[in-house]
Amino acid sequence: MSQFDFDLFTIGAGSGGVAASRRAGEYGAKVAICEELRVGGTCVMRGCVPKKLLMYGASFSEQFEDAAGFGWEVGAPKLDWPRLMAAKEAELDRLEQIYMRLLSDSKVELIAGRGALIDAHTVEVAGKRYTAKHILIATGGWPVRPPITGVEHSITSNEALELEQLPARVTIVGGGYIGVEFAGIFNAAGAQVTLLLRGDNVLRGFDLEIRERLGEEMRARGISIETEVEVRSVARDNGGPLCLLLDHGEMHETDALIYATGRTPNSAGIGLEALGITCNPDGGVVVDERNRTSVPNIYAVGDVTNRINLTPVAIAEGRALAETLFNNNPTVVDRRDVATAVFSRPPVATVGLTEQQARAQVGEIEIYSARFRPMKATISGRAERILVKLVVDKQTNVVLGAHMVGDDAPEIIQGLAVAIKCRATKRDFDATMGIHPSAAEEFVTMRFPRPDE
Ligand code: NDP
């Protein structure tokens, strides 16, 4: 009989925590998981899933426009925003039930409430204490807003996913993943969207050409992108519109203000300090390659570690931990060449090195890129250009990175990520038959590298 109530106690039922707990339960471990909000965490309840459902819903506007070019007589389409929100909410409820069922099928005990560490083997939830041999911190992250005057009048992605009515004007601060994704949703839904960036373009850290292409496409869709601008303060008079004072001294009026200025790890107030668990200055829990914290039986996975903040990475980390602890199969997650997509309009997807990273890290490289009008746009009349790009090591011919802006980019790059993971060469790409007619075939038909500048 174990001296502990559980073999594993997980704090946080998001992607990483649920994955670790279920896998551990399947290996026969006695597992509990606690959650203070909804089961499913950021991805399912406040992120990837509702965001993509709203993106699907809003994007029909573009398809109605395109359909006219193909001979359809489409009346004036109108989005019933509350109906879309209700449908989205019903789907989230369904998913939450599924998550709860999956946990119980894996014999994981679900405990409602916020968990906090009491000592290295004890967690307290809703006034009750539980002991465990191993403890996993999987508390995720939370949006942060800069502390400017009037910031309380703004919302974050959490509330933006629950707006009861579609605002006529939406202003978004921040041009990272969340900023450009929400700009796409609200623009497609019919709002007048302004993106305020403190830098010179969207998606800092992505390939420069990709950033430029996306910025152009967003502007072409009517999104106003204002660069090198910061908000000094926000005010609202008598329930009227919001008034933003910008650092140029200009005023900007809007009906909804969304801050998409990053997320911070949920590492405060759960007893980490008292146990001496080390955190980075950004709040990320420090872990080794096996996700162990500085206290040997306490682990952390996912956004709370603030490394690669993506759902599939959190899931892989959670499963690796369960393999290591409960299946005698020590597993380290391979963090190279993690593919990622931004569900902007059009979407961006990327895997491997950007041109700029490759130049800095590898030295001599070749760049293959193609910009073309998708076939659908010929008849629809949409002035859209897809960009595909390969970054190749000149010496070894290995493809170091693949990038795309255009419809279906996430679906296409996922496949290429396998090739890049297998260290495919440009010659392998060239020897691959294209699928015709498709946008994807451009990745295997680019013949000449871009001349060196
Ligand atoms: P990001 O870190 O991606 O982007 C933050 C943006 O806010 C940047 O444009 C940044 O500008 C700007 N910013 C930061 N601080 C300020 C400030 N004080 N004033 C003005 N602008 C500011 O954060 P997000 O919130 O967009 O997303 C968080 C993370 O969530 C992502 O990095 C990603 O890991 C994950 N995510 C993944 C998604 C996906 O896989 N599709 C979707 C959504 C989120 P600058 O560039 O100048 O620093």
Distance 17 CA to ligand 1 centre (A): 23
**Domain architecture of the chain: domains with CATH:** 6-142+264-326 (3.50.50.60), 151-261 (3.50.50.60), 346-444 (3.30.390.30)
Which atom of ligand 1 approaches the CA of 303 most closely?
34
Atom 13 in ligand 1: which residue has the minimum CA distance?
261
- Specify which residues 330 forms β-bridges with: none
At position 113, the amino acid (one-letter code) is G
Which atom of ligand 1 lies nearest, measured to the CA of 177?
26
Mean pLDDT of each 10-residue bin along the chain, 453 residues long: 92 98 98 97 97 98 95 94 98 97 97 98 98 98 98 98 98 98 98 98 98 98 97 92 94 98 98 96 97 97 98 98 98 97 98 97 96 95 96 98 98 98 98 98 97 77
- 69 labeled part of a ligand binding site: no
* Ligand 1 pocket mutation pick from 15, 44, 263 by most atoms within 8 angstroms of CB: 263
Nearest-CA residue for ligand 1 atom 11 is: 174
- pTM for the predicted model, two decimal places: 0.97
Ligand 1 centroid to residue 310 C-alpha, Å: 13
Strand-pair category, 263-265 with 340-342? unpaired
Give the tokens for residue 281: 């200055």
Nearest atom (ligand 1) to Cα of 157: 25
**Would residue 436 show up in a list of annotated catalytic residues for this protein?**
yes
| C-alpha 176 to ligand 1 mean position (Å) | 4
Distance 178 CA to ligand 1 centre (A): 6
Ordered DSSP codes for 363-412 = SSEEEEEEEE--HHHHHH-----EEEEEEEETTT-BEEEEEEESTTHHHH
pLDDT value at position 453? 66
The CA distance from 168 to 403, in Å, is 34
Cβ < 6 Å from ligand 1: which residues? 146, 173-179, 181, 198-199, 204, 230, 260-263, 309-310, 340-343
C-alpha distances in Å from residue 60, one per residue of 50, 56, 74, 309, 401: 16, 7, 12, 29, 31
Cα(351)–Cα(69) distance, rounded to whole angstroms?
34
Q: 179 labelled as ligand-binding?
A: yes
Report the pLDDT value the prediction gives residue 6, as an integer from 0 to 100.
Answer: 98
How close is the Cα of 262 to the center of ligand 1, in Å?
4
Using most ligand atoms within 8 A of CB, pick from 178, 185, 229, 230 the residue to mutate for ligand 1. 178
By alpha-carbon position, which residue is closest to atom 4 of ligand 1?
176
For residues 326 and 159, the answer to whether their CB atoms sit within 8 Å is no
In the prediction, which pLDDT does 1 show?
A: 62
175 is in an annotated binding site: yes
Atom of ligand 1 nearest to the CA of 179: 26
Q: What is the pLDDT of residue 59?
A: 97
Nearest alpha carbon, ligand 1 atom 34? 309
